């Protein structure tokens, strides 16, 4: 019994003084019954960036960016692979059909890219954020 108590006390001390930083990420949860493709846009202080595609299975989540968030606003465009729907908005960013990382938002067509309307996600300057994608509406929440 003494060994068990000592082991529990030692474990508690290790957990209490654990100095590893907490992980903060930008995640998207696909709460639909369909497979979705996701593109993400943001301003990284040097320029606008759009990147994609993350393929996310039904009722699962995926981390799109690892680490503390670097912007307050992020932009999402998603495609429902199974039912041909989309989630988008008014913020126009460049995309393409294959995997991409595109810097800049001007002259998409002239640079050989497509233009898509992304919806805005206001993280409220939190370090960690999860977007919940469902039905025809979206809702972000911090965790």
pTM to 2 decimals?
A: 0.79
Start-to-end CA span in the chain (Å)? 38
Note the pLDDT of residue 135. Answer: 80
Note the pLDDT of residue 23. Answer: 65
The Cα–Cα gap between 105 and 6 comes to 59
pLDDT band for position 125 (cuts 50, 70, 90): confident
Instruction: Choose which CATH entry (3.30.1480, 2.60.40, 3.30.1380, 2.60.120) describes domain 24-141.
Output: 2.60.40
Q: What is the pLDDT of residues 36-91, one digit of tens each?
A: 999 999 999 899 999 999 999 999 999 999 998 888 999 999 999 999 899 999 99
pLDDT band for position 14 (cuts 50, 70, 90): very low
Residue 139 predicted with pLDDT over 80? no
Is there a contact between 54 and 64 (Cβ–Cβ < 8 Å)?
yes
Q: Which helix (H) or strand (E) holds 55?
A: strand 48-56
Distances (CA, A) of 56 to 18, 39, 47: 33, 11, 27
């Amino acid at each position: 019994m003494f060994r068990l108590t000592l082991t529990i006390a030692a474990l508690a001390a290790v957990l209490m003084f654990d100095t590893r930083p907490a992980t903060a990420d930008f995640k998207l949860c696909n709460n639909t019954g369909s497979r979705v493709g996701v593109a993400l846009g943001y301003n990284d202080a040097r320029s606008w960036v759009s990147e994609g595609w993350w393929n996310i299975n039904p009722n699962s989540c995926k981390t799109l960016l690892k680490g503390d968030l670097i912007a307050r606003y992020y932009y999402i465009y998603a495609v429902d692979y199974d039912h041909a729907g989309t989630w988008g908005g008014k913020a126009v960013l460049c995309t393409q059909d294959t995997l991409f990382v595109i810097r800049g938002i001007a002259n998409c067509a002239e640079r050989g890219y497509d233009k898509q309307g992304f919806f805005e996600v206001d993280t409220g300057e939190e370090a960690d954020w999860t977007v919940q994608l469902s039905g025809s509406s979206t809702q972000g929440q911090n965790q």
